[in-house]
Structure 1
């Protein structure tokens, strides 16, 4: 059976270069990586996971633990991370946290510490201090970590800037009485909630309202659970009560799709009577009637940043970074773009 040394010799590179090339490391030039892959193919080289783990202490497998995989956005995020991991020669084990502390603890104790070299984790119920005690010292990248004093690298979704762009877009299409669906205005009174995803999206909306000199109060903010059925029912109650907006920013696309159905049920025309914009950029929004304008999180960019951070921490753990390298905690934010569709096209 061909070994990594055989591949390196056939490609005319060092063993380390061959290893990095087959892992998809971006530091290896495309020309060199192609040469190594051709050499590996000619030798019928395949990586034996158990053997590699025994030799290096690394399995080449990372964990991805994300909430509510049965919903479109988390599912699409996991797929993007898995694709990016594969480009780096890594395999993924995807787990659903289910918004349960017990489930998160189980994942950290069993999957992360025993099977994976490192993990990309979306915490919902465990604190960074608890993660430190549970994860076994392996590299960990968090998604949307709300800690004031971060212990781990983190990639954020573009909550504030995206929400601000959503409100500005509604303003630009002529909306002046704008509602926000999916958040209770009072969460800003709770420090922990104020820094959550919903809190940061609310903060972005409030900044836009202030910049545009739009007066709002608690009646502009309508709470609902983040699923289609609750959003639909909430819109029924809102319309039946006589409360109407000319523009509606929904904190997620799932909420927006439910709102569109609820408005249609009551004969409210979108976008003529009420323009609607969502947040996330899930695929379903392109096919709704009307199609949904959205703030699309660039999931490929989010995945790229998360995997690059994790790869760096894996190299640190393996002693593969130069002495003097900055090891301080890093916090990055994914890009976004506004996708204008029929739900705001007046």
Structure 2
């Protein structure tokens, strides 16, 4: 027989209700009483039956996270952060893969697996606001990613335009003027690539420079091959930039490979800034300067939002803006790898590379 709440209550000399309050982490328990109950829990080896707890509340104890591409390190790292955040609320995370296809994103958002999940965290690429109109699925939905939506759902995203401007401002501060943008996309103006391109343009204009649209290179995808191909296309048509701001780290890494193959030195000939701060950006032959979204905050806010919705504590849509940092590494620094600047907004500290 397993240890019950009653057993713990008898050992601690308190009521079953008090034990339940401690186990469920309710705030209105004195520190002394909480410590007394916790000691009894530890002595008896009590483990709560999470399945039964969720079922009593009409829940499954499972939330879903749907991302475009599990092979992309950014989404893999984000998934890990969501799993850790959900564990603090005794939730299990079901990770789904949409392949960035609109029809899959619509299917997931409309409750494809609603019979097994309590809520959904969705990071879409091509989903449109009209796809969410008339959504009758009762499971709460939280949208991630920098794409903007005018829809009554919680949305958590960093400020793409401001982050892009920070990246370009850094390149300008080290004397670069022919700054290319690699990773533009066709489609709606509210896609993340358009927002980052907008930040590129705005910062150049703010510096008194005319954005050179010949230095904008589109990509078909978001990977290393796409970055390498786009960088080669720029060079082949005679557009030699002195800096590159890439849509993401994978594109930046691909671009740096092409630059090396063409005999150009990063950062002396061409400085490079990426976006996402994936682990790979810290371990290349030339470490990558990048915009680092606060993935832990994104995950925490997403899970907390679902938990609050499920508890009925909030009705109005949440619009959260997690922070980001510009991490300056070797791809934009000619001063050697000993120490690099780490910027957060207008703040600047010293940090070891990575």
Is TM-score (shorter-chain normalized) higher than 0.5? yes
Contact 2:129 2:150 in 1 (8 A): no
Query: Could you say which structure has the higher helix fraction?
Result: 1
Higher RCO (CA 8 Å, separation ≥ 6 residues): 1
Decide whether aligned partners of structure 1 residues 93 and 182 sit closer, same or farther in structure 2, where only a CA change above 3 A counts: same
Partner of 2:344: none
> How far is the alpha carbon of 1:50 from its aligned partner?
4.0
Secondary structure of the residue that 2:184 maps to in structure 1?
Answer: coil
Say whether 1:290 aligns with 2:286: yes
Partner of 1:76: 77
- Residue in structure 2 matched with residue 18 of structure 1 by the alignment: 22
Q: Distance in 1 between matches of 2:179 and 2:159?
A: 21
- Aligned partners of 1:91 and 1:247: how far apart in 2? 43
The CA RMSD over aligned residues, in Å, is 2.8
Q: Does 1:223 align with 2:218?
A: yes
The residue aligned with 1:51 is: 52
Aligned counterparts of 1:238 and 1:302: Cα–Cα separation in 2:
34
Q: Displacement, 1:6?
A: 5.3
Cα separation, 1, equivalents of 2:309 and 2:203: 37
Change (3 A) 1:169 1:50: same
The answer for the alignment partner of 1:180 in structure 2 is 181
2-side partners of 1:29 and 1:104: how far apart?
46
- Shifted more, 42-51 versus 224-233: the winner is 42-51
Unaligned runs of 5+ in 2: 335-354
8 Å contact from structure 2 (residues 183, 218) kept in 1? yes
Tell me which moved more, 43-52 or 295-304.
43-52
Question: How far 1:271 sits from its partner (Å)?
Answer: 0.4
Q: How does 1:192-203 map to 2 (within 5 A)?
A: 193-203=188-198
- The answer as to whether partners of 1:177 and 1:245 remain within 8 angstroms in 2 is yes
State the secondary structure of the residue aligned to 1:154. strand
Aligned positions of 1:259-274 closer than 5 A: 259-274=255-270
Partner deviation per Cα, 1:168-198 (whole Å, 9 max, x = no partner): 00001110111111115xx5xx6xx211111
Can you list the C-alpha shifts for 1:258-284, whole angstroms capped at 9, x where unaligned?
001010010011100010000110010
Contact 1:8 1:18 in 2 (8 A): no
CA contact (8 A) 2:273 2:331 kept: yes
